[in-house]
Structure formats: structure tokens, C-alpha cells
């Protein structure tokens, strides 16, 4: 009985030690095993794009205001109304302005009467002066009487000029009153569509400081524009006559096309972010697009068909123990630039700092990683063109690595390549 008990104890210890040893050996092998996540270098289309958001608007939008103050007596246009140039769209109550015209006209009549009176007085004074000249030559009146009649005649002539000036003033006042009366008719300055009405009948508008806006009229909604906010880092890639596409939330599955008409030089700074307005001309023959819609725009500034391309994830891969993404002093292999770091494009210490097109990736050849430097071309954010370098179609580039201990991972990469 005692011997059987020890037998089972020894057997259990042997089995436990064997199991632990097996687990330890497998763990050690797993720690030494390094697995690479790779992607193939292939050929395909690369389209370099710039994206921006913008707002749709009519090419010409006119604010229709009132130059006189008063109560809105009538409205002849409403939202979405089609109006013609010269059409009456609103009416300001003209009663006060009609009274001003009547008063100005009466003032003109009075001024003209004063002018006629002044002319008659001037004629009479001139006749009296001439009679006194004849009498003075005969020594029948004193010289003082002659001088007085001459002064009276001159004053009468000046009175005529003053009365004539008063007539002109009255005419000007009448003209001003008539113009103000005409301004009570709010006229459309262009053909177009009313996209905004800001007043109602009975509302009083005050034009003492600035002309209030009554209507907003879009000249032609079949021709629209998009004002986009393009970041300063991307504005150099755009140029006039460049094609652009965009979509709007109202039609998420439809793409609209346009052409860049103008890149405005005026910067717009919001929270220290500088953007520029790239204006896109857009046809809107079916009137689907409406002013104020938000457009998500795409500008294609470079394209390459059948380009040899490498995934950008491979350029971001950083081997364990490699240089930081900012680079460090050292002696890289001949013609090589340091590897890219995860999450950031590395600019290495040697030529890469002076040539931003020089990039590096790790290629798996014969089961071992090898660092390859190439000159990058067009990129679309996911793939980059291999413009020059020792990369071929079908090469396996490393994008990540799993398994193995830290020491095993570092040992998998030749130190002389950093």
C-alpha cells in the first residue's frame, strides 16, 4: 500500500515536469518566431487629389434695398418668384412723398412768380433811371436824385438774378421730391429668381443710415459657383481651368462636375488656419443645386495609369530599434535613406533630408528583410508611385511584424542598414 502511494506520486511529478518542459520549449520557439505582414508591389492607377469643402451660390446675387424710409404698402414678389429687370417688386407708402412733391411744386410756382415780379420791378427801375438821365442833362434834377435812381435800377437787376436763383432751387427741390417719390417703387435691377424676402406688408423700413435689404435676387440659377476653402498647403496644386467634382448631401450618390474659374489671392484665416477661395463654375441646367448647399469638392491634380506602386503603410513601417522618424546622425548604407517610422514619414539624416522624394521600404527577399530606397512620384494617400529605384512588381514589402521577442525582432534586421 505504501509502495503504491509513492509510485503514483513519482509518476505525477514526472508527468508535470514533462508537461512544463514541453510548454517552455514551445514558448521559447514562439518567442523566437518572427512573422512579417507583407503587401505586394503592383501596378495600377494612382490619382492625386485635393479635397475641400465649399458653398454653392449663384454667380451673380443682387441685394434689392430701399433708398427711402416708410411703410411697405404692397409686395409684388415672393420667395422663388421669377422677376424681370425693371419689374415692380414692392411699394413703399407714397403719401408723404406725394405731399413733398406737391409742396415743392408750389414752392416752384411761388418762386417763378417772384421772378416775374422782380423782372417787372427791374424794368420800371431802368425806365426811371433813363428818364432821370435826360432830366439831369437839362439840369432839371439834382445829381443826388440821378445817383439814387441808378442804384435802384442796379438793385432791381440783382433782384432778378436772386429770383432766378430761387426758381432754380425750387426746381431742384421738386426734382429731389419726385426722385424720392419714384424710389417708393422698388424695382428689380435684373432678371432672376427671388431667393430671399426680408419684409412683410405693413412693416416699416428705415433707410436713414443704410439701405435695408428687402429682397435677394439670384440672376441665373442655371449657372452657379462653388466657393471652396482650400488649405494653403494644397493651393499650389490648383490652377484655373482645372476640372473638379463634388457631391452634396441632398444627392449623396450623384457627382457634379465643374471647372476652376479663379483662385483668389485673399487669404482667409480662421483659428490660425489659412485657406484660399478656389471658385468653381458649375452648370445647373436641371436646377437640382440650390444656393447655400455644402459641396464636398475633389480636385484631381495628377494622374498615373499603370504605375508601379507601393503601399504607403510600407513606408510608415519602422523596425524595432531603428532610428526615430526625425532621423539621427549616422552612416547609412550607400545611397540609402533611413526607414520610415510608424505613423509618420521619416526624413533621414543623409540625402533624404535634402530630397523629400527619397523614401525607403523593407522588402522580404529570401525570407530576410532588406532595406530598399526609391524615389517617390505621385501619391494618393494609400499608394505611392515608384518613379525610380530597385523595386519590382511582385516584391513583398513589410507593413508590420508580429510574434517573437523584442530581441528576436531586432536581430531580424541588419543593424548596418539603419
250 pLDDT tier (thresholds 50, 70, 90): very high
In Å, what is the CA distance from 241 to each residue of 244, 261, 309, 354?
Answer: 9, 6, 29, 33
Return the minimum-mean-pLDDT range out of 190-199, 217-226, 289-298, 324-333.
324-333
pLDDT of residue 327: 36
Contacts of 400 (CB under 8 A, 6+ apart): 36, 37, 313, 317
pLDDT of residue 325: 35
CB-CB contact of 243 with 259 (8 Å): yes
24 pLDDT tier (thresholds 50, 70, 90): low
Top-ranked range on mean pLDDT: pick from 12-16, 22-26, 35-39, 174-178: 174-178
| pLDDT mean over 199-208 | 90
Contacts of 281 (CB under 8 A, 6+ apart): 59, 223, 224, 225, 258, 259, 260, 261
Could you give the residue ranges of the DSSP H alpha helices within 138-280?
143-182
Is 50 exceeded by the pLDDT of residue 418? Answer: no
Is 90 exceeded by the pLDDT of residue 365? Answer: no
pLDDT of residue 4: 63
What is the secondary structure of 42-106 as a DSSP string? EEEEEEEEEEEEEEEEESSEEEEE-SS-EEEEEE---TT-EE-TT-EEEEE--HHHHHHHHHHHH
323 pLDDT tier (thresholds 50, 70, 90): low
CB-CB contact of 49 with 404 (8 Å): no
The residue assigned the cell 418762386 is 111
Contacts of 88 (CB under 8 A, 6+ apart): 76, 185, 186, 187, 188
Is 70 exceeded by the pLDDT of residue 352? Answer: no
322 pLDDT tier (thresholds 50, 70, 90): low
18 pLDDT tier (thresholds 50, 70, 90): low
399 SS3 class: strand
DSSP annotation of 225 reads E
Given CATH 1.10.645.10, say whether it is the number of domain 68-93+187-213.
no
Could you give the residue ranges of the DSSP H alpha helices within 232-390?
312-316, 351-354
Q: Give the separation between CA 333 and CA 336, rounded to whole angstroms.
A: 5
Return the minimum-mean-pLDDT range out of 125-129, 171-175, 262-266.
125-129
pLDDT of residue 336: 37
* Other CB atoms within 10 A of residue 116 CB: 13
Percent of the chain with pLDDT over 90: 60
Top-ranked range on mean pLDDT: pick from 94-108, 139-153, 349-363: 94-108
pLDDT of residue 345: 40
pLDDT of residue 31: 47
Tell me whether strands 243-248 and 251-270 are parallel, antiparallel or unpaired.
antiparallel
pLDDT of residue 130: 86
In Å, what is the CA distance from 191 to each residue of 58, 220, 225, 291, 381?
Answer: 13, 8, 18, 17, 46
21 pLDDT tier (thresholds 50, 70, 90): low
The residue assigned the cell 503504491 is 4
Is 80 exceeded by the pLDDT of residue 16? Answer: no
pLDDT of residue 278: 96
Average pLDDT, the chain: 84
| pLDDT mean over 141-169 | 90
Task: Match domain 50-58+219-302 to its CATH number in 2.60.40.10, 2.40.30.170, 2.60.40.3140, 3.90.1150.10.
Answer: 2.40.30.170
| pLDDT mean over 269-298 | 95
pLDDT of residue 350: 39
Return the minimum-mean-pLDDT range out of 9-13, 156-160, 178-182.
9-13
Residue spans of the domains in the chain: they are 35-46+308-417, 50-58+219-302, 68-93+187-213, 94-183
Cα torsion 105, 109, 114, 115: sign = positive
Cα of first residue to Cα of last residue in the chain, in angstroms, is 69
Return the minimum-mean-pLDDT range out of 278-292, 352-366, 399-413.
399-413
| pLDDT mean over 355-359 | 85
Which of these, 47, 46, 42, 45, lies nearest to 397 by C-alpha position?
A: 42
Q: What is the pLDDT of residues 62-112, one digit of tens each?
A: 999 999 999 999 999 999 999 999 999 999 999 999 999 999 999 999 999
Return the minimum-mean-pLDDT range out of 115-119, 170-174, 207-211, 349-353.
349-353
Distance between alpha carbon 208 and the CA centroid of its chain, in Å? 33
Which of these, 160, 168, 164, 166, lies nearest to 118 by C-alpha position?
A: 160
In Å, what is the CA distance from 145 to each residue of 152, 292, 307?
Answer: 11, 85, 114
pLDDT of residue 29: 52
Is 60 exceeded by the pLDDT of residue 342? Answer: no
pLDDT of residue 133: 86
Amino acid at each position: 500500500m505504501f509502495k503504491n502511494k509513492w509510485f503514483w506520486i513519482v509518476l505525477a511529478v514526472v508527468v508535470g515536469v514533462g508537461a512544463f518542459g514541453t510548454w517552455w520549449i514551445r514558448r521559447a520557439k514562439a518567442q523566437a518566431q518572427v512573422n512579417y505582414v507583407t503587401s505586394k508591389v503592383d501596378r495600377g492607377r494612382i490619382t492625386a487629389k485635393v479635397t475641400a469643402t465649399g458653398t454653392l451660390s449663384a454667380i451673380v446675387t443682387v441685394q434689392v434695398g430701399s433708398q427711402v424710409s416708410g411703410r411697405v404698402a404692397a409686395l409684388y414678389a415672393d420667395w422663388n418668384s421669377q422677376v424681370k429687370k425693371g419689374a415692380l417688386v414692392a411699394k413703399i407708402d407714397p403719401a408723404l412723398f406725394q405731399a413733398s412733391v406737391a409742396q415743392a411744386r408750389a414752392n416752384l410756382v411761388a418762386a417763378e412768380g417772384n421772378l416775374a415780379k422782380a423782372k417787372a420791378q427791374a424794368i420800371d427801375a431802368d425806365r426811371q433811371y433813363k428818364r432821370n438821365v435826360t432830366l439831369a442833362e437839362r439840369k432839371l434834377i439834382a445829381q443826388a436824385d440821378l445817383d439814387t435812381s441808378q442804384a435802384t435800377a442796379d438793385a432791381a437787376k440783382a433782384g432778378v438774378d436772386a429770383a432766378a436763383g430761387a426758381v432754380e432751387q425750387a426746381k431742384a427741390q421738386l426734382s429731389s421730391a419726385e426722385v424720392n417719390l419714384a424710389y417708393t417703387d422698388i424695382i428689380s435691377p435684373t432678371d432672376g429668381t427671388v431667393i430671399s424676402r426680408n419684409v412683410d406688408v405693413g412693416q416699416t423700413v428705415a433707410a436713414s443710415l443704410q439701405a435695408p435689404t428687402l429682397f435677394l435676387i439670384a440672376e441665373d440659377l442655371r449657372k452657379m459657383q462653388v466657393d471652396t476653402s482650400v488649405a494653403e498647403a494644397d493651393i499650389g496644386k490648383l490652377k484655373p481651368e482645372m476640372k473638379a467634382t463634388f457631391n452634396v448631401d441632398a444627392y449623396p450618390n450623384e457627382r457634379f462636375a465643374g471647372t476652376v474659374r479663379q483662385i483668389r489671392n485673399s487669404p482667409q484665416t480662421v483659428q490660425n488656419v489659412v485657406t484660399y477661395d478656389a471658385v468653381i463654375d458649375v452648370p445647373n441646367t436641371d436646377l437640382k443645386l440650390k444656393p447655400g448647399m455644402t459641396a464636398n469638392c475633389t480636385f484631381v491634380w495628377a494622374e498615373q495609369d499603370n504605375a508601379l506602386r507601393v503601399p504607403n503603410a510600407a513606408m510608415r513601417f519602422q523596425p524595432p530599434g531603428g532610428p526615430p522618424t526625425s532621423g539621427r546622425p549616422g552612416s547609412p548604407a550607400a545611397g540609402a535613406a533611413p526607414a520610415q517610422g510608424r505613423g509618420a514619414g521619416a526624413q533621414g539624416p543623409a540625402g533624404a533630408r535634402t530630397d523629400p522624394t527619397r523614401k525607403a521600404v523593407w522588402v522580404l527577399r529570401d525570407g530576410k528583410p532588406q532595406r530598399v530606397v526609391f524615389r517617390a512620384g505621385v501619391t494618393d494617400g494609400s499608394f505611392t508611385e515608384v518613379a525610380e529605384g530597385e523595386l519590382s512588381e511582385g516584391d513583398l514589402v513589410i507593413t508590420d511584424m508580429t510574434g517573437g521577442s523584442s530581441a528576436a525582432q531586432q536581430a531580424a534586421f541588419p543593424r548596418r542598414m539603419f
